[in-house]
Amino acid sequence: AGESLRSLLNRFTGGTVSSIAMGAIITLLVQSSTATSLMTIGFVSAGMLTFLQATGVIFGANLGTTSTGWMVALIGLKFSVSQLALPIIGIGMILKQFSSGRWAQIGYVLTGFGLIFVGIQYLQSGMAGLDDYIDFTQFSDLSILNRLILIIIGIIMTIIMQSSSAAVATTITVLAAGTIGLEQAIALVIGQNIGTTATVAFASIGASVSAKRTALAHIFFNLFTGAVTFIFFPLIVSAIRGFASLLSWEDPLIIVALFHTLYSILGIVVLTPFIKQFTKFIIRLQPEKKSDITKHLDSSIIPIPAVATETAMRALKEAAIQILEETSLKAQALSYSLPSSHPDMAKFNKNLEKVQLEIDEIKEFVMAIRADSQETTARYTSLLHAIDHLQRMARLAIYNLSEVELLNPMERVYPVVFQMEELILESIEALEKDDFSSVVSKLSSFSQELAEFRKKERAEIFEVTAKGEVNINDAFKYVKLILLVDGITHHLWRMMYHISEGS
């Protein structure tokens, strides 16, 4: 999963249209817009989707869920598929139990579709005598109040069933039994779409800000579309009837399925041109409170180890970038001979200490993850190594780098410090672009060269000090500086290596 899953998502959810298409396709496969929305919330929490991409997926999910209505209207209630459904379920279970990879997933899909048609059969038999117990004739006059009552009933149906697809399938089945009329069925469908917002809202409780924003996008999309349809109900029903008549679709079951699809398309067509303004509105309603580094550390994704590990690695990269930026500025300040008591040095230390606290948050998050596969275990191990080396490097930058000063007589150390600064900047760029192809090898070579340089310089500086050519205090400061540059470079190299291995 991890990085490959993130790359796959970014590949197919790059723009608004592709995000909508991906949301529709995923929902078509899983037959639940709620499941797609919950999955999207998880990916946004992990930082694997941007909020704008997630909004497109949510729009598409509402369109994809209308496929169930078409299956019920065109196949489930027109043909006796129950005899075919059980063999499909059997084939699916065999594929799941005795194969792996893609075939096992195909088995899941076959089993799911088979169960849908078995469910339709039970709905048909169960709803046949429903009019003996529930009298829907009292809602035949679709006044505003009756419309509202039917919409509320639809909302309750979805909340109880935890699926708008199942609720819509039930409505179409009841319509086929003659218990309700077309207009009543359409009003119920409006409520059933709005009802999906309850499950998503519950799922976002205690989640990250990004997840809450995604839930709000789902809620406002459905509330907006439902409100527009409720206000213009008579006009929309007449338009649907007219459109169906042009296509020679007189069957009320097909008209309900058509309404469900056009209902979602209406929301997409109206809101998509304003999707950026829509997302900005949601962001204003739910502003970010946590830091940029830890904002995606959401406990709700911990049960998915691959996604949680990816999230922690992304947070660690952000922390590494900030620590490297502050370390680079601090090294530059020392190059210009700023004393450790200078206000800028205190500011650098404060910023570094703040990031250290955020690394502690990352560690707490990582401690709760339980790797469930060989790949996740390998990435988890790389993550632990990277955290360790980043913390060691940060401690050197905060405490040791504050205690040294570059001495003018020892200009031969300047090239080493400048090269370290250049590699720090290259490392920052590599972390931002997720491209570690060259920087790791450069750091490895420089670290090995620096180890040899340290040994040679240590011997030479003590030799010239013994001859009285260099002050003994300056000599020890110089050696301390060389050791410090060597330590920072080594931990930078090992951190970047493990991040590249875990990405």
Question: pLDDT by residue (tens digit) across 201-232?
Answer: 887 777 777 778 888 998 999 999 999 999 99
Rounded to an integer, the average pLDDT of 410-427 is: 81
Residue 393 has pLDDT above 80, yes or no: yes
Largest CA distance in the chain: 111
Determine, yes or no, domain membership for 294.
no
Determine, yes or no, domain membership for 291.
no
Q: Which residue has the higher pLDDT, 208 or 341?
A: 208
How many whole angstroms from its chain centre is CA 453?
46
Determine, yes or no, domain membership for 177.
yes
The answer to whether residues 334 and 432 belong to one domain is yes
Q: Which residues contact 101 (CB under 8 A, 6 or more apart)?
A: none
Q: What is residue 388's predicted lDDT score, i.e. its pLDDT?
A: 93
Return the number of other C-beta atoms located less than 10 Å from residue 279's C-beta. Answer: 19
Residue 491 has pLDDT above 90, yes or no: yes
Q: What is residue 316's predicted lDDT score, i.e. its pLDDT?
A: 92
Residue 151 has pLDDT above 50, yes or no: yes
Residue 46 has pLDDT above 70, yes or no: no
Return the number of other C-beta atoms located less than 10 Å from residue 146's C-beta. Answer: 16
Handedness of CA 194, 195, 197, 200 (dihedral sign): negative
Indicate which CATH number applies to the domain containing 429.
1.20.58.220
Q: What is the pTM of this model?
A: 0.61
Helix axes 182-203, 252-271, angle to 10 degrees: 50
Q: Please give the DSSP secondary-structure letter assigned to residue 99.
A: -
Here the tokens at position 245 are 């008549």
Share of the chain above pLDDT 90, in %: 19
Return the top range by mean pLDDT from 76-90, 296-310, 382-396, 471-485.
382-396
d(CA 498, CA 488): 16
Q: What is residue 404's predicted lDDT score, i.e. its pLDDT?
A: 55
| 128-142, 145-159, 220-234, 311-325: range with lowest mean pLDDT | 128-142
d(CA 304, CA 216): 23
Question: For residues 413 and 482, is the Cβ–Cβ distance under 8 A?
Answer: yes
Residue 385 has pLDDT above 90, yes or no: yes
Rounded to an integer, the average pLDDT of 273-298 is: 81
The answer to whether residues 238 and 336 belong to one domain is no
Show which of 285, 318, 345 is a domain's final residue.
Answer: 285
The answer to whether residues 308 and 251 belong to one domain is no
For the chain, the average pLDDT equals 80
Question: For residues 192 and 171, is the Cβ–Cβ distance under 8 A?
Answer: yes
Determine, yes or no, domain membership for 296.
no
The band of 43, judged by pLDDT with boundaries at 50, 70 and 90, is confident
The band of 442, judged by pLDDT with boundaries at 50, 70 and 90, is very high
* Total number of domains in the chain: 2
The answer to whether residues 327 and 449 belong to one domain is yes
Q: Which residues contact 16 (CB under 8 A, 6 or more apart)?
A: 52, 56, 272, 275
The band of 409, judged by pLDDT with boundaries at 50, 70 and 90, is very low
Residue 2 has pLDDT above 50, yes or no: no
Rounded to an integer, the average pLDDT of 135-162 is: 80
The band of 3, judged by pLDDT with boundaries at 50, 70 and 90, is very low
The answer to whether residues 364 and 241 belong to one domain is no
d(CA 209, CA 220): 16
Q: What is residue 41's predicted lDDT score, i.e. its pLDDT?
A: 74
The answer to whether residues 269 and 308 belong to one domain is no
Here the tokens at position 377 are 């275990």
Determine, yes or no, domain membership for 389.
yes
- The single residue listed with the structure tokens 């129950």 is 82
Rounded to an integer, the average pLDDT of 449-459 is: 88
The answer to whether residues 161 and 188 belong to one domain is yes
The answer to whether residues 110 and 160 belong to one domain is yes
The answer to whether residues 382 and 486 belong to one domain is yes
Q: What is residue 5's predicted lDDT score, i.e. its pLDDT?
A: 47
The answer to whether residues 209 and 355 belong to one domain is no
Q: What is residue 431's predicted lDDT score, i.e. its pLDDT?
A: 93
d(CA 425, CA 296): 25
Rounded to an integer, the average pLDDT of 179-205 is: 86
How many whole angstroms from its chain centre is CA 237?
38
The answer to whether residues 233 and 339 belong to one domain is no
Q: Which residues contact 34 (CB under 8 A, 6 or more apart)?
A: 162, 163, 164, 196, 199, 200
Sequence letter at residue 375: E
Determine, yes or no, domain membership for 174.
yes
Give me the domain span that covers residue 6.
Answer: 2-285
d(CA 40, CA 46): 10
Rounded to an integer, the average pLDDT of 297-314 is: 82
Residue 381 has pLDDT above 90, yes or no: yes
Share of the chain above pLDDT 70, in %: 81
Q: What is residue 126's predicted lDDT score, i.e. its pLDDT?
A: 60
The answer to whether residues 314 and 269 belong to one domain is no
Return the top range by mean pLDDT from 114-128, 397-411, 458-472.
458-472
